[in-house]
Amino acid sequence: MSKLYLGIDTSYYVTSVALMDEAGRLLEDRRRPLTVSTGERGHSPAEAVWLHVKGLPEVIEPVLAQYGREIAAVAASTRPRPVEGAFLPPFKVSEGYGRAVAAALGVPFYASTHQEMHIAAGLWSSDSPPVGEQFLAVHLSGGTTELIRVTRRIGGFDEELLGGTRDLHAGQFVDRVGVALGLPFPAGPHMEKLAAGGVPGRVTLPSHVDGRYVSFSGPETAGQRQVGKAEPADLALAVIMCVAKTLEKWLRAAVAETGIQEILIVGGVASNGILRERLREKLEHRAVGARLAFARPQFSTDNAVGTAAIARANHMATTER
């Protein structure tokens, strides 16, 4: 009988379940976005938990009905990041369901995190993933903006936090200006479409990097001041270019400081094509020498594919000992 690996992730944005086989092939990738009312910028923790409790059975039951007897291990995102004290209520839904399913099937359960899911999804889906024992990872989303040194180990990888944001996350910056422009939440995909019609340089926003840390509160304030004054497409492009310029400065310094040239960029904000093109142009230039890798756009946004990959890696490492 073939061995399959189940992953579950319940973020502030999406209810997700994925299934992977021993060869690393993706068999199931089921997601249900958490709907947000027009003009709102997300959910409270209680609202997100309730939406996951209602939606997860409908997402996971078809997978269990078809493949349940072949599942060899289950992993779930149980907290946002692998650091002491990291906690968000929505992840208790994926943890609770994951533990219950694993116990019912009599298979191992592996507790993981949302950030590890994004990194694993990037390694699994990138056309040119990092190959070194160590690489830098940038996690860009509505809830995280962090620079991490990743070290591979048997069954997965370890993370060392190198830097992050002092205030707003990159995704919050994009969402706040996007919602002010009348776009749906989360605003990232809509901002990218709008920005495609913008004129470069017509609107500029400041970028701020202080050593290992970045800041988006000043750019967000400057962007809000342009709402109703600037052309929406020009402002949308300025927001994306501000994020790109901030990352460019941040990562140039990180490459110089650490000597690590391989960089994996993951998270919902990293699905933006304009952002990717700018970073490749500036950071893969021979003057910097970085080698960038991105998760495929559909695996940059919240998913459980990386969690299934984590279940597979941990279980295979355990059984091979």
Q: What is the pTM of this model?
A: 0.94
CA distances to 80, 81, 157, 218 from 85, rounded to whole Å, are 10, 9, 20, 28
Question: Does 109 lie in the same domain as 161?
Answer: no
Instruction: Name the band, by pLDDT with cuts 50, 70 and 90, for residue 45.
Output: confident
Question: Does 24 lie in the same domain as 150?
Answer: no
CATH number of the domain to which 314 belongs: 3.30.420.40
DSSP 8-state symbol, 91? H
Please state, rounded to an integer, the average pLDDT across all residues of the chain. Answer: 95
Query: What pLDDT, in 10s, does the model give residues 62-89?
Result: 999 999 999 999 999 999 988 888 888 9
Question: Does 15 lie in the same domain as 98?
Answer: yes
Q: Is the peptide bond before 186 cis (omega within 30 degrees of 0)?
A: yes
Question: Does 109 lie in the same domain as 145?
Answer: no
Instruction: Name the band, by pLDDT with cuts 50, 70 and 90, for residue 1.
Output: low
Q: pLDDT at position 13, please? A: 87
CA gap 60, 157 in Å, rounded = 27
CA gap 320, 312 in Å, rounded = 12
Residue 314 has pLDDT above 90, yes or no: yes
Question: Does 219 lie in the same domain as 278?
Answer: yes
Q: 257 is in which domain, residue-wise?
A: 128-294
Q: Which residues of 57-72 are buried (b: 16+ CB within 10 A; e: fewer)?
A: eebbeebbeebeebbb
CA gap 114, 267 in Å, rounded = 10
Query: What pLDDT, in 10s, does the model give residues 187-220?
Result: 999 999 999 999 999 999 999 999 999 999 999 9
Question: Does 190 lie in the same domain as 113?
Answer: no
Question: Does 251 lie in the same domain as 133?
Answer: yes
The arithmetic mean of pLDDT across residues 19-31, rounded, is 97
The arithmetic mean of pLDDT across residues 246-259, rounded, is 96
Question: Does 278 lie in the same domain as 139?
Answer: yes
User: By the 8 A CB rule, do 110 and 74 touch?
Assistant: yes
Question: Does 274 lie in the same domain as 134?
Answer: yes
Our count of domains for the chain comes to: 2
CA quadruple 307, 72, 150, 80: dihedral sign: positive
Question: Does 149 lie in the same domain as 69?
Answer: no
Residue 320 has pLDDT above 80, yes or no: no
Q: Tokens at residue 139, please? A: 């996690």
